[in-house]
Amino acid sequence: MFDSGVGGLTVLHECLVSLPQEDFLYLGDTACFPYGSRDPARLRERIAEIAELLLDRGAKLLVIACNTATSVGEDVAREVAAARGVEVVPVVAPQAEIAAAITDNGRVGVLSTPNTVESGAYRRALEKQGRALEVTEVEAPALAPFIQNGSLFDEETMAMARAYCEPLKRAEVDTLILGCTHYPLVSPMLQRILGRDVRLVAGGHAVAAAVQRTLERDGIARPPSGGEGTYDFLCTGDAEAFRAVGTRFLQMPLGEVARVEIDGGL
């Protein structure tokens, strides 16, 4: 499993709860965080390198726990993984499926990074759901860095969030896709601004369910009686900083974090 930083730990948390018997290896590419405004072509090179690294370490399934990486480089990750006979679970499609199923008025919002919006990945995924949906996408370039840095919540923060939510309120969305794995950490703030009747769709639950289905379908799932699996961490930036911030996201102990070098891309 990989992400641009610690946001994907919200996805890992749900996988650890849903599939406690499985072993997980998580890579946070913190040296190149955030992905949201990076050059897409170079980012695709980076994603290929990360996929190779995780597969070299024996991954039986590759989970892209990053919305931007999924949006701009899912095909690259799939190509690398397919050469090893490994399946890929992205974060965009499972969220789109849930959002299309639960919206009552057909108005779905997407709050995400600039690269994710520009890719059109969520719009395409929602179009495949077989419903006539009105999709409103909003770029929130400052939100993920704010969350990753552990900045304090104050009135300036609320003003920023309100500005991002205003187009969603005008569009009268009743369902909002949190199009970045960092965003669940500020879901109470978003819920307050948008109102309790707006459903928020995070990636964690959706991806964990997709991971379980894929493992069982391919016959590579560990039996529930197999005991408790392990979870280990790699990062490309400062390991201690990753551990300190990541504990808040994972809501479990992180233990040791090993630093690795990625040559390609950014």
pLDDT tens for each residue of 64-109: 999 999 999 999 999 999 999 999 999 999 999 999 999 999 999 9
User: For the chain, what is the domain count?
Assistant: 2
Give residue-wise pLDDT tens across range 218-257. Answer: 999 999 877 899 999 999 999 999 998 888 888 888 889 9
- Domain annotation covers residue 265: no
What value does the mean pLDDT take over residues 157-177?
Answer: 95
Considering the chain, what percentage of its residues have pLDDT values greater than 90? Answer: 77
Identify the domain containing residue 193 by its residue range.
Answer: 92-203
- Domain annotation covers residue 264: no
Q: Among residues 161, 186, 203, which one ends one of the domains?
A: 203
pLDDT at 165: 97
Q: Is 32 a catalytic residue?
A: no
Q: What CATH number is attached to the domain comprising 230?
A: 3.40.50.1860
What value does the mean pLDDT take over residues 22-47?
Answer: 93
Residue 185 confidence class, pLDDT cut points 50, 70, 90: confident
Neighbouring CB atoms inside 10 A of 225's CB total 6
Catalytic residue among 15, 32, 165, 180: 180
- Angle at the Cα of 61 from the Cα atoms of 60 and 66, rounded to 5 degrees: 145
Q: Is 66 a catalytic residue?
A: yes
Rounded Cα distance, 148 and 146, in Å: 6
Sign of the alpha-carbon dihedral angle for 200, 172, 99, 91 = negative
pLDDT at 152 over 70: no
- Domain annotation covers residue 54: yes
What value does the mean pLDDT take over residues 148-164?
Answer: 81
Catalytic residue among 15, 66, 165, 235: 66
